[in-house]
Structure 1
Amino acid sequence: MRITAFAFAMAAVPGLAMADGVGITPDMMSASVPTATGMVEISRNQDSAHRLEGDWTLTSRPCPNFCIQPMVPAPGVTPVGELEVIAALQDPNIVVIDGRIRPEFEAGTIPGAVSVPYNEAADRLGELGCEVDFDGFICEGDIPQVVLFCNGPWCGQSPTAARNMIEAGFPAENISYYRGGMQNWQGLGLTVVPGGAGG
């Protein structure tokens, strides 16, 4: 009974309950990431009543095309979550790639992500330091780590990009896959920007 009374008393003190806001982790309220248009602050939506709308709330779309993707789209690829994506965005040696088609990227993406549509990924390995070869690319030496993402656990665009990149010569151990993609990113209320404006 005393514990309950104490809890009610503490909740009644203005500013004491919920004073910390909606953080990314207990020690991180936001993260600054470099983008093509300058620094962008990634944080979570502070409105605790906020809800997603539109396609991001759909749970049951027909398979194919909307089949649940594996956590590891190809042997050697490393699955990652939101915290690893944020850390990657802050690391100049890692490229975060939005593997969705260009209109989806332009509608909204993770700040700092670059657009490499899944159907172009295998042909654009030169942008990642690989050299053109007769059978694809030679990807040796100082090539970056990449993080691929698309629309969410049911989106096959970035898994296809990963497999195509590997087949063209990019090493699987240099690829990470954020399976949660835009659906999980937005579900957590994290910052989204139009592609080309910090994307």
Structure 2
Amino acid sequence: MRFIAIAMAGLLAFAAPAAAEDEVRITGDLLEFQVEGPDGPITVKRIQDQENEITGYYAMTSRKCPPFCIQPMEAAPGVKTIGELEMVDLMRDPDAMVIDARTLDWHVKETIPGSVNIPYTEVASRLDELGCEKGDSGWNCENAKDVALYCNGLWCGQSPMAIKAMVREGYPPEKINYYRGGMQAWKVLGFNTVEGMM
């Protein structure tokens, strides 16, 4: 009996390889995942260099307000504010969309893998890309997709403005997720980014 228990423990250890102690994982069970990009699959993971530090634009802590004022936790009534793990879940959901609500110049420099750029200035006229249909009396959004919107960070008003415009046009707030941390939080946690497409 003892031999069987030892053999079973050995098989379980072989079947489920243990995480390397030096891996920088997303969660204890998730090292990386794939999203679809314009040129094929993109692997999303955290930077493995444990000496890595955030530098450049997203390392700045203080910006002139206005226009760079800290945004409220709730972008609009009924809209859920999410963190990185909820963002990862939406990125892995083939029926959901992650929207980079920043202007094209920001998106082209660097973006979250798999996200689609719909600038906050255009989102109200592009709801058809999110499952809504344009009618004579406005948008019909009964088939709206679950979406997550983000911009540059806690101090960026682009995604909150996009969310308010979507709700105003009839997009169901319960289908909208606001990733308030945006690019700054994504980079602080060491997630990889990609260049955006024009």
TM-score computed with the length of structure 2 as normaliser:
0.86
Question: Which residue of structure 2 lines up, in the alignment, with residue 89 of structure 1?
Answer: 91
What is the aligned-residue RMSD (CA, Å)? 1.5
Matches of 2:71 and 2:135, distance apart in 1: 31
**1:124 is the counterpart of 2:126:** yes
Q: Name the stretch that deviates more: 78-87 or 175-184.
A: 78-87
Deviation at 1:72? 1.2
CA contact (8 A) 1:99 1:158 kept: yes
Question: Which residue of structure 2 lines up, in the alignment, with residue 4 of structure 1?
Answer: none
Superposition misfits of 4+ residues, deviation over 2 angstroms: 133-136
Q: Name the stretch that deviates more: 32-41 or 145-154.
A: 32-41
Matches of 2:79 and 2:137, distance apart in 1: 22
Question: Which residue of structure 1 lines up, in the alignment, with residue 157 of structure 2?
Answer: 156
Matches of 2:56 and 2:140, distance apart in 1: 42
Question: Which residue of structure 1 lines up, in the alignment, with residue 3 of structure 2?
Answer: none
Matches of 1:51 and 1:66, distance apart in 2: 23
Deviation at 1:129? 2.1
Q: When the two structures are aligned, how many residues end up with a matched partner?
A: 179
Deviation at 1:135? 4.8
Question: Which residue of structure 2 lines up, in the alignment, with residue 190 of structure 1?
Answer: 191
Deviation at 1:134? 4.1
Ranges in structure 2 where 5+ consecutive residues have no aligned partner: 1-19
Deviation at 1:196? 2.3
Matches of 1:127 and 1:26, distance apart in 2: 35
CA contact (8 A) 1:34 1:90 kept: no
Matches of 1:22 and 1:96, distance apart in 2: 24
C-alpha distance after superposition, 1:10-42 (max 9, x if no partner):
xxxxxxxx8332111111111122222211111
Deviation at 1:59? 0.8
CA contact (8 A) 1:135 1:168 kept: no
C-alpha distance after superposition, 1:138-176 (max 9, x if no partner):
211x22111000000000000000000110111111100
Among all aligned residue pairs of Structure 1 and Structure 2, give the percentage whose two residues are the same amino acid: 47
CA contact (8 A) 1:34 1:89 kept: no
Q: Which amino acid aligns with 1:83?
A: L
Q: What are the residue-to-residue correspondences of 1:54-93 with 2, within 5 Å? A: 54-93=56-95
What secondary structure does 1:33 align onto? strand
Ranges in structure 1 where 5+ consecutive residues have no aligned partner: 1-17
Q: Which amino acid aligns with 1:65?
A: P
CA contact (8 A) 2:82 2:177 kept: yes
Matches of 1:83 and 1:42, distance apart in 2: 13
What secondary structure does 1:148 align onto? strand
Matches of 2:77 and 2:129, distance apart in 1: 23
CA contact (8 A) 2:144 2:172 kept: no
Matches of 2:100 and 2:69, distance apart in 1: 19
TM-score computed with the length of structure 1 as normaliser:
0.86
CA contact (8 A) 2:97 2:148 kept: yes
Question: Which residue of structure 1 lines up, in the alignment, with residue 109 of structure 2?
Answer: 107
